[in-house]
Amino acid sequence: MFLSGFAMAADGPRVVTESAEPTEIIELVSLDGTVSSLRTAALSVEMAGLVDAVLVETGDRVTAGTPLFELDDELERLSVKSLEAERREAVAARQEAARRLDEARSVGAGRNIPETEVQARASAFRQTEARVARLTANLESGRARLERHRLDAPFDGVVTERHTERGEWVRPGEALVRLIDRDSLRLDYPVPQSYFPLLGENAVLDYRVDGSSMDWRSAEIATVVPVTDPTSRTFLLRGQATDTTTLLPGMAVEGRLRLPTGREGLTVARDAVQRYPDGRTTVWVLHDVTEQTVAERKVELAEGFDDRVVVTKGLEVGAQVIVRGNEALEDGMRVRIDDPDT
């Protein structure tokens, strides 16, 4: 054990280095947002009436066209039957008028039958046609009113609220049920207006559920609304998550917006930086590459992003910076360079 420790001390501590190179500076913006659904509807009936059947409960998943409520339609059904009977009567009268007109024309107007009689029968036929057209329109209107005694789901979704029961009188415009599309979710973030000029094709959005231990996940920037809220001075950025299984409408979500600034700076890994109680900030570098000795350099830092910090003073381009194994180094100490993947 003593010989092994002595050999390690003679060879120097093992370190990992990286080259300090100019890197494009990324602006990181922390955001707080909300999961919202693209389709949310407070559904109402088109006609006033008495609720005859409630077909859904809160929490039910429905597809487009699923009946949600039915109103009492007995009187409307009887009205439709009456209109159907009237139309059948009118169609029979039209057929008889057409037969009489054909008969008059076949015997020859002016020879075997007066011309005025032919014209009278033609006029009677046109009247029966008009009556059939009028009753057909009334029948279609009655059937449309009958269909409006049922409230159907306009899209696939989840029933989140239900506000009425069987036997209640409801009116148009009165919300009976709230339906939310659970699958068409978006991540809505208010972003300070100062970042609008930096939004471009290379902007990247990451998200995670607020207060959770989930890893950051990437989201596509679907929409940027170019209108600023005059109160908060923010604009809306809407992201589309690739996986919505862990998201629910109304959830709070953290956001991390990465905005390329178009500027470059000399960056090093955060692990390379040493901070002291007296305010000094330093990094360790290979002072002599051949001898593999190290030296401490005092540096000044600017903003950082991800696991990088920007060095504004005290370091030159291409310097070999110690990023691991720099905890107990001394000036002039010899070190052994390790592979970063080891």
pLDDT in tens, 35-66: 999 999 999 999 999 999 999 999 999 999 99
CA 200 – CA 234 distance, rounded (Å)? 17
Mean per-residue pLDDT of the chain: 87
Q: Looking at 45-59, 98-112, 143-157, which range is the least confident one?
A: 98-112
What is the CA 278 to chain-centroid distance, rounded? Answer: 49
- Using pLDDT thresholds of 50, 70 and 90, give the confidence band for residue 98: very high
Angle at the Cα of 300 from the Cα atoms of 295 and 301, rounded to 5 degrees: 115
Read off the pLDDT band of 6 (50, 70, 90).
Answer: very low
> Can you name the residues that pair with 22 across neighbouring β-strands?
266
Q: What is the pLDDT of residue 56?
A: 94
User: What CA–CA distance (Å, rounded) separates 147 from 125?
Assistant: 33
Residue 185: pLDDT above 80?
Answer: yes
Backbone angles phi, psi at 152, to 5 degrees: -110, 155
DSSP assignment of 264-314:
EEEEEEGGGEEE-TTS-EEEEEEEETTTTEEEEEE-EEEEEETTEEEEEES
- The pLDDT, as a whole number, for residue 124 is 94
User: pLDDT at position 117, please?
Assistant: 87
Place of tokens 């339609």: 73
CB distance 308 to 22 below 8 Å: no
Q: Which residues contact 154 (CB under 8 A, 6 or more apart)?
A: 41, 43, 64, 179
pLDDT, position 146: 93
- Written as one letter, the residue type at 151 is L
**Which of helix, strand or coil describes residue 95?**
helix
Identify the band that residue 2 occupies on the pLDDT scale cut at 50, 70 and 90. Answer: very low
Residues 6+ apart with CB under 8 A from 68: 43, 55, 56, 62, 151, 152, 153, 159, 176, 177
Nearest to 301 by CA among 328, 258, 270, 331: 270
The answer on pLDDT for 303 being more than 80 is no
List domains and CATH numbers for the chain: 12-25+265-337 (2.40.420.20), 27-36+182-262 (2.40.30.170), 40-71+150-180 (2.40.50.100), 74-147 (1.10.287)
Q: What distance lies between CA 172 and its chain's CA centroid?
A: 30
DSSP state of 246: T
For residue 245, give every residue at least 6 positions away whose Cβ sits within 8 Å of its Cβ, in sequence order, or none. none
Q: 3-state class of 237 per DSSP?
A: strand
Question: What is the structure's pLDDT at 11?
Answer: 67
Q: What confidence score (pLDDT) does residue 286 get?
A: 85
Cα 210-211-214 angle, rounded to 5 deg: 80
H helix or E strand, kind and range, residue 5: helix 2-11
Which residue in the block uniquely carries the two structure tokens 């052994």?
A: 336
Enter the tokens of residue 137. 């329109």
Mean pLDDT, to the nearest integer, of 193-220?
88
Q: Is 4 helix (H, G, I), strand (E, B) or coil?
A: helix
Nearest to 322 by CA among 291, 297, 301, 290: 297
pLDDT 10s digits, 304-338: 777 888 888 888 888 888 888 888 888 888 888 87
